[in-house]
A and B are shown apart, each in its own frame.
Chain A
């Protein structure tokens, strides 16, 4: 279990001694064993600093960092080095040692073992991340995805219980990102690994995380299970993030471009229907259309499965008598669907 309490980390500006940058500003966070926990935020939000406070690559100015009940801040240097071997970390730029082969990179953190033991351990790790055939290659000969696999093998060399991923997929193409995320998911299941994922990509959180926290300006502004964050974001920054992954945001572009698709006839009303709860499975559009005798025209739809439940919504144009449209809207609201009117061409 990772317990961060009231972590504060300031960086001092070199030019102006009085100017402090609050990289992490009073953050408390608990991550349970076996979780895949996402920390998301725009660049500069402090998430990389926060994750470095877990293995004390950055030492917090104040606060407490406990891992399995052990206060990391109070460890002597030797003990800290030892503790770090049980916290793996991977990076955006992979950080493989260019002068060492894949084998030597993975063997780097192994100490106090015989040559044969090291060989066996490295081979089994390379097998685990499915890159055994590259044992003697140098990092410069590998693709990004392969490099990250090697980095994961290296991070797992001392059988850590925790893996910290600092923007680990941000330098990879979407397909490779998918395969690395799948690997992380498998490792979580197979080894019971606790994984902390730092990212600015909502896709990543959506793909593998069960819980997530949203960071902005050094603070956690929202946290909870990923489904709730996606379906019902509270903070504007979170909404922004959710929108980046949703098709529904395209409506703004269409409106701005004055596209004929979104031009309303008199009496029509355009609205965004957002599903908040996990039990949306009824055919809501066609049902309302029939029940209230109006036309409901789907402009955009984006429904996704997040953490095993449906999230998303549609942008629709209602066409019909205004009182009937209002009844349909009331009906949706009663079904826990958020209705946001985007444009109204009047009654």
Chain B
């Protein structure tokens, strides 16, 4: 494709590297996303049920979790990245590449997603919980059959937002040698002034975000009655 190599001279010369960067970003998203999803969901549920007036009220547990989440949310991600390097080395065996950045990504986005889940679950009408309890549901049943089921749409929206903000974090992670699109754009687009690379990365990211947003919104709407 000669036209493309005129329009995007630098990118076309580094196509294999570009595809690898795309793949690395996707890999970071998927791995950290899956772990964040599990932990965030669990923490969000714990926050919801243990808070004062919740169905499994537990002040100490709630207070501790609440404070830890606030602590991690107040640390800027770029600092978290470097601060967690030793932990990352210990858990993953390395602090660079995709493997090395999963730990900070999880620590960076889990608190955010936990809060998102908490506020999604908070939209569940208290009356539904009360009705379920009156019908003999145990607290665990209330969690799975009422809280999670009835707030499926807001949870899907929370996932959407978290995936998108995670994309921002993966770009930052490029700065400590994680690879991915962020790293690709900084190294070539910025450091070597290759504007076409910056633009293409931006377009890819915009398309990615739009796709995630569209899928999320469609699923959320399907689950709203």
Report A's interface with B, CB cutoff 8 A.
55, 57, 77-78, 81-85, 87-89, 91, 93, 95, 97-100, 108-109, 138-140, 151, 154-155, 157-158, 164
Give chain B nearest CB distance to A229 CB in angstroms.
Answer: 28
Give chain A nearest CB distance to B27 CB in angstroms.
Answer: 34
Give chain A nearest CB distance to B53 CB in angstroms.
Answer: 10
With A77-B138, A81-B138 already in contact, the answer to whether A89 and B150 are too (CB < 8 A) is: no
Q: Does B194 contact A (CB under 8 A)?
A: no
Binds A, one of B32-40, B127-135, B209-217: B127-135
A81 & B225 in contact (Cβ 8 Å cutoff): no
B134 & A89 in contact (Cβ 8 Å cutoff): yes
A95 & B130 in contact (Cβ 8 Å cutoff): yes
Number of A-B contacts (CB under 8 A): 63
B138 & A108 in contact (Cβ 8 Å cutoff): no
Residue of A nearest to B225 (CB): A138
Residue of B nearest to A108 (CB): B135
Number of contacting residues on B, CB 8 A?
20
Give chain B nearest CB distance to A132 CB in angstroms.
Answer: 20
A95 & B125 in contact (Cβ 8 Å cutoff): yes
Partner of B134, one of A55, A97, A100: A55
Residue of B nearest to A89 (CB): B134
Give chain A nearest CB distance to B81 CB in angstroms.
Answer: 39
- Ordered nearest first, which 4 A-B pairs have the shortest CB separation? A85-B136, A95-B131, A109-B135, A89-B134
A57 & B135 in contact (Cβ 8 Å cutoff): no
Q: Which of chain B's residues have a CB closer than 8 A to the CB of A89?
A: 131, 134-135
With A99-B149, A138-B225 already in contact, the answer to whether A81 and B130 are too (CB < 8 A) is: no
Q: Which of chain B's residues have a CB closer than 8 A to the CB of A55?
A: 134
Q: Which of chain A's residues have a CB closer than 8 A to the CB of B121?
A: none
Give chain A nearest CB distance to B133 CB in angstroms.
Answer: 6
B223 & A99 in contact (Cβ 8 Å cutoff): yes
Q: Does B190 contact A (CB under 8 A)?
A: no
Q: Which of chain A's residues have a CB closer than 8 A to the CB of B135?
A: 84-85, 88-89, 108-109, 154-155, 157-158
A315–B138 alpha-carbon span in the complex (Å): 57
B150 & A97 in contact (Cβ 8 Å cutoff): yes
Q: Which of chain A's residues have a CB closer than 8 A to the CB of B138?
A: 77-78, 81
B137 & A99 in contact (Cβ 8 Å cutoff): no
Q: Which of chain B's residues have a CB closer than 8 A to the CB of A57?
A: 130, 133-134
Partner of B150, one of A83, A99, A138: A99
Residue of A nearest to B153 (CB): A99
A81–B131 alpha-carbon span in the complex (Å): 12
Q: Does B20 contact A (CB under 8 A)?
A: no
Q: Does B80 contact A (CB under 8 A)?
A: no
A108 & B132 in contact (Cβ 8 Å cutoff): yes
Q: Which of chain B's residues have a CB closer than 8 A to the CB of A151?
A: 131
A89–B132 alpha-carbon span in the complex (Å): 10
Report B's interface with A, CB cutoff 8 A.
125, 127-128, 130-138, 145-146, 149-150, 152, 223-225
A78–B135 alpha-carbon span in the complex (Å): 13
Given contact pairs A84-B136, A85-B135, A97-B128, a sample of 14 additional A-B residue pairs in the complex whose CB atoms are under 8 Å apart:
A78-B138, A81-B137, A84-B134, A87-B134, A93-B125, A93-B127, A99-B152, A99-B223, A99-B224, A99-B225, A108-B135, A154-B135, A155-B134, A158-B135
A83–B135 alpha-carbon span in the complex (Å): 9
A257–B126 alpha-carbon span in the complex (Å): 46
Q: Which of chain B's residues have a CB closer than 8 A to the CB of A91?
A: 127, 130-131
A83–B137 alpha-carbon span in the complex (Å): 11
A57–B224 alpha-carbon span in the complex (Å): 29
A87–B133 alpha-carbon span in the complex (Å): 11
Give chain B nearest CB distance to A179 CB in angstroms.
Answer: 22
A97 & B133 in contact (Cβ 8 Å cutoff): no
Q: Which of chain A's residues have a CB closer than 8 A to the CB of B224?
A: 99
A144–B112 alpha-carbon span in the complex (Å): 39
A214–B5 alpha-carbon span in the complex (Å): 87
A257–B125 alpha-carbon span in the complex (Å): 46
Residue of A nearest to B138 (CB): A81
A155–B134 alpha-carbon span in the complex (Å): 9
A98 & B150 in contact (Cβ 8 Å cutoff): yes
A263–B126 alpha-carbon span in the complex (Å): 54
Give chain B nearest CB distance to A317 CB in angstroms.
Answer: 51
Q: Which of A81, A84, A99, A139 has the most CB of B within 10 A?
A: A99
Q: Which of chain A's residues have a CB closer than 8 A to the CB of B125?
A: 93, 95
A55–B133 alpha-carbon span in the complex (Å): 9
Task: Pick 12 A–B contacts, CB within 8 A, sort by A.
Answer: A55-B134, A83-B136, A85-B136, A93-B127, A97-B146, A97-B149, A98-B150, A98-B225, A99-B223, A100-B149, A109-B135, A155-B134
A282–B25 alpha-carbon span in the complex (Å): 93
A155–B133 alpha-carbon span in the complex (Å): 12
Residue of B nearest to A78 (CB): B138
Residue of B nearest to A86 (CB): B136
Give chain A nearest CB distance to B169 CB in angstroms.
Answer: 32
A77–B130 alpha-carbon span in the complex (Å): 16
A109 & B136 in contact (Cβ 8 Å cutoff): yes
Q: Which of chain A's residues have a CB closer than 8 A to the CB of B137?
A: 81, 109
A81–B133 alpha-carbon span in the complex (Å): 8
Q: Which of chain B's residues have a CB closer than 8 A to the CB of A83?
A: 136
A55–B135 alpha-carbon span in the complex (Å): 10
